[in-house]
């Protein structure tokens, strides 16, 4: 009887270890995604800053396509910020479980 209980406990521990390994892999994958999102966000912010500096140097008459491109870049920056925040929140939730 004791041996059976011990085997059950060992089996449960093995299952818990496998679950932790799976979660560890998920955390690693999410960290990679967060890192990639941070790089994308940084690139988008840099592009937006360059466009802003160019806009300041323009004459009052500005090309509509140029302005539209700038607006699209700002929208992309906002999307990337939101994704980054979501991934950071997911990462925090996962790390709290450990």
Q: Determine the Cα–Cα distance for residues 79 and 86; give it in Å rounded to an integer.
A: 11
pLDDT tens-digit readout, 9-50 = 999 999 888 888 877 888 888 888 888 888 888 888 888 788
34 and 63 in contact (C-beta within 8 Å)?
A: no
* Residue 79 pLDDT exceeds 80: yes
pLDDT of residue 61: 66
C-alpha to C-alpha distance for 16 and 34, rounded to whole angstroms: 26
Give pLDDT, residue 11: 92
Quote the pLDDT of residue 93. Answer: 75
Domain boundary assignment for the chain: 1-61, 63-97
Mean pLDDT of the chain, nearest integer: 82
Q: Among all chains, which residue has been given the structure tokens 């890192």?
A: 35
pLDDT band at 64 (very low <50, low <70, confident <90, very high): low
Cα separation of 6 and 9, whole Å? 5
């Amino acid at each position: 009887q004791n041996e059976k209980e011990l085997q059950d406990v060992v089996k449960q521990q093995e299952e818990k270890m496998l679950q932790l390994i799976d979660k560890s892999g998920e955390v690693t994958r999410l960290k990679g995604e967060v890192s990639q999102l941070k790089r994308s966000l940084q690139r988008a912010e840099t592009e937006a800053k360059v466009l802003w500096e160019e806009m300041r140097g323009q004459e009052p008459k500005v090309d509509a396509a140029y302005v539209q491109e700038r607006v699209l870049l700002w929208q992309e920056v906002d999307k990337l910020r939101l994704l980054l925040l979501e991934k950071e929140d997911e990462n925090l939730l996962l790390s709290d479980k450990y």
